[in-house]
Structure 1
């Protein structure tokens, strides 16, 4: 009986203790849930990448305002139009904090309520390029694209190419430049090339290689003359543009078809290529055709904002020396010209860039081309006839001393009898072995430079 009473009392105490403990713990939790945090957002609720789970409306508003200011400070918006770029001010965005919080959906990712000020947008478009003031631009589509990153509060940088917001009908392709090169002597090869090549496309933001084009078109050429003529025409056509010349070569001597400063030698066997880069956001094309005996290259595409002018600078010529050689097989007084000689040439090609308003923005050196002179070579007989004047004979008879000029070191009279085996000397008295002279080439094949890809030869003692 006593044991049963004790058990009842123990159970009553246990139940009372459990009740008191449960009320204090779960009661506080229930109170917080029902009364204190009724305005907190559910788990998984976010605005863009900003997580506001378990945050009150006041806390979420403060966090969102801080995030918007951070986004405006860090995000870079760039407008580009052809060659020009301008940074847009994030002040063109209008964020609506209260509307964003009011329309939130619990437990999921939401977009920030934001809009673009159209007046500020148009002002920034005109600031990019004054020519856009007269061009029709789809500002509604541009504004919609501008909002994509803003609604997500993505701090990545954005570049918007304004050409993409100009109607296709307005974006007309125009002739940018034209070049003609004399193709006489290689007309048949040029015709065969044109049949396979057609219009040459130069994609946007891409590098163009002439030899790669030849490979893609499966063109088999045994001689490089036709390729060089076509390469020269292309090079001359793209020079007055903003294309970047990466690789280009020239010959030992200026070919008859090329103008000084405009040659571009192409040789498939020697891997001499013409390579340039189109850094623009629009593609261009080269139309090649024969007009009589001339190859014409026309560059077409979107016109540039800037004007590009090619100027020749520091043009020089180098007179060839005359090299004398002697041959015992020639009769006395007989001479033979075995090399007529060729004048050496040097020119610096400069590209001047003028802005939309005609102001000179930049001057850059495109290339320095040097063609070494080819010396004139004349073969003489080893003994020249001695001519005695009548005056000298008279003076000798009268016993008078006649003052005679010392012959020039390069005149025939001052030349000693040669030993077997021909030799030669230049006009400055320097002897040159005939064997070495015959093996002397007209310059050396140029190598690609580090700066422009331009192959050049410079005269001794001169810098580029």
Structure 2
């Protein structure tokens, strides 16, 4: 009787045994009504068990006679805050199910989905979520796919796979930008529902056709976009192409909550990567090859609202796009050369720094080349100009102003290039 064995008991013993079971059930079992994301408990006092009337029927029926206090059930239903639920809910069907739960004395916790007791007739349908995606220049495949998927129904509890849905509609998913635009458009609409994201991928670099946090990357036979409808009613996908935009809508029974997406984003600045090029004159001269781009780490949060009140927030996923580093080409750096005074063996005053053009003389002396002047003083070095009046070719003595001018002109006409430095 109600999962209690009473075959070998007297009537009074059977009543006592069943009453003990009923008392234990009311203390330890829990009956929950669930409506989309909302849950409420049904008061155990809503069930009145008629044990003494039930025992004489033992052998003919195993169910306890139970009365249900409907007003207490109605109080629980009222806690499911959803406009129009009373008009859609078949309460008598729900009452009958609750009476059966009590009559069987099911010992485990029971969860009843209110969506199972909604009347089909008159149930409103509306756009519960929508999105807009920018279309690429050419989208021949996309046009065929959205025609085939327009009106596609995602049934209660069903898992939707984009690749499988295309195949069911007589089409073949192909690796292209079109399928990624379609996946991203559906994903963006799904974000603002209570659907569960099961599989979703991103590419290494954020595409131009989608905003940060809304990409879904699909590669047939390898990567898919999959979500599940956890509700007891069906929802359908609808598509409209409006000039250069794809409008995607999810249509069905309204949710008890509205949903908003919030992004928390970290930005990573690109670093500079230097490649050395022997064709460039020096390290200080550079050529920009790639300006690079910033990287992003974005957390996508789904927030649930009842009116203007936020009731929940859940993280959907994290997207990471690494920065693309800035790329430069430069000439090889010039090693620093130390000039030694032959008479003392110590570094001479005015030793040139790394990267400056220099001239090396037969005796091993190294001095800076024009325009890095005035030149340092190198005493007792034959053939070295210590303090020229005007810049000239190092190593050629100037006897007067005319000689120096001719020397400069000679350097200009011949384009002399000494150790990486050009004459002026």
Determine the structure 2 residue equivalent to 1:165.
Answer: 117
- Residue 212 of structure 1 and its aligned partner are, at CA, apart by 2.7
Instruction: Tell me which of 293, 297, 320 is aligned to 1:370.
Output: 320
Q: How many residues align?
A: 347
Deviations 1:228-263 (A, max 9, x none): 111111111111223333322222222111111211
The structure with higher relative contact order (CA 8 Å, sep 6+) is 1
Which residue does 2:360 correspond to in 1?
A: none
Q: C-alpha deviations, 1:401-450, integer Å up to 9, x for none?
A: xxxxxxxxxxxxxxx96xxxxxxxxxxxxxxxxxxxxxxxxxxxxxxxxx
2:53 aligned partner: 99
- Corresponding residue of 2:192: 240
Following the alignment from structure 1 to structure 2, what is the Cα–Cα distance between the partners of residues 374 and 56? 83
Over aligned residue pairs, what C-alpha RMSD do you find? 3.7
- State the alpha-carbon separation in 1 of the partners of residues 301 and 327 from structure 2: 39
DSSP 3-state at the match of 1:237: helix
Task: Please report how far the alpha carbon of residue 81 of structure 1 lies from its aligned counterpart in structure 2 after TM superposition.
Answer: 0.8
Secondary structure in 1 aligned to 2:261? strand
Paired residues of 2:200 and 2:217 also in contact (CA < 8 A): yes
Distance 1:54 1:377 in 2: 89
Cα displacement (A) at 1:318: 1.9
The equivalent of 2:382 in structure 1 is none
Alignment partners' CA distance in 1, 2:133 and 2:97: 47
Q: Which residue of 1 aligns with 2:254?
A: 303
Distance 1:377 1:52 in 2: 85
Distance, in Å, in 2 between the alignment partners of 1:96 and 1:196 is 58
Q: Which runs of 5+ in 1 are unaligned?
A: 1-46, 400-415, 418-464
The answer on 1:59 being equivalent to 2:13 is yes
Paired residue for 1:290, among 241, 255, 258? 241
**Which residue number in structure 1 is paired with residue 224 of structure 2?**
273
Of 95, 116, 125, 2:77 maps to 125
1:77–1:159 CA contact under 8 A, matched in 2: yes
Q: TM-score, normalised by structure 1?
A: 0.64
2:34 is equivalent to residue 80 of structure 1:
yes
The residue number in structure 2 matching 1:343 is: 293
Q: Distance in 1 between matches of 2:177 and 2:300?
A: 26
Matches within 5 A, 1:304-453: 304-319=255-270, 321=272, 323=274, 326=277, 328=279, 339-356=289-306, 358-377=308-327, 397=389
- Name stretches of at least 5 consecutive residues in structure 2 with no aligned partner: 334-356, 358-368, 376-386, 392-418
Aligned partner of 2:152 among 192, 200, 205: 200
**Residue in 2 that maps onto 1:39:** none
Per-residue deviation, 1:149: 3.0
Contact 2:116–2:232, Cα closer than 8 Å, also in 1 = no
In structure 2, how many angstroms separate the alpha carbons of the residues matched to 1:223 and 1:54? Answer: 70
User: CA separation in 2, counterparts of 1:201 and 1:117?
Assistant: 38
Tell me which protein shows more helix as a share of its residues: 1
Q: Secondary structure at the match of 1:131?
A: coil
Against the structure 1 CA distance between its residues 99 and 276, is the aligned structure 2 distance closer, same or farther, given a 3 Å change threshold? Answer: same
Secondary structure at 1:280's aligned position in 2? Answer: coil
Q: Is the CA contact 1:320–1:341 (under 8 Å) kept in the aligned structure 2?
A: no
Following TM superposition, by how much is the alpha carbon of 1:283 offset from its aligned partner in structure 2, in angstroms?
2.8
Task: Give the drift of 1:388.
Answer: 8.1
**Residue of structure 2 aligned with 1:224, choices 166, 169, 176:** 176
Cα distance, 1:222–1:356 mapped onto 2, change above 3 Å: closer
* C-alpha deviation, 1:79, in angstroms: 0.6
Mapped partners of 2:321, 2:58: distance in 1: 77
Q: 1:154 to 1:379 in 2, by over 3 A?
A: closer
Distance 1:224 1:212 in 2: 16
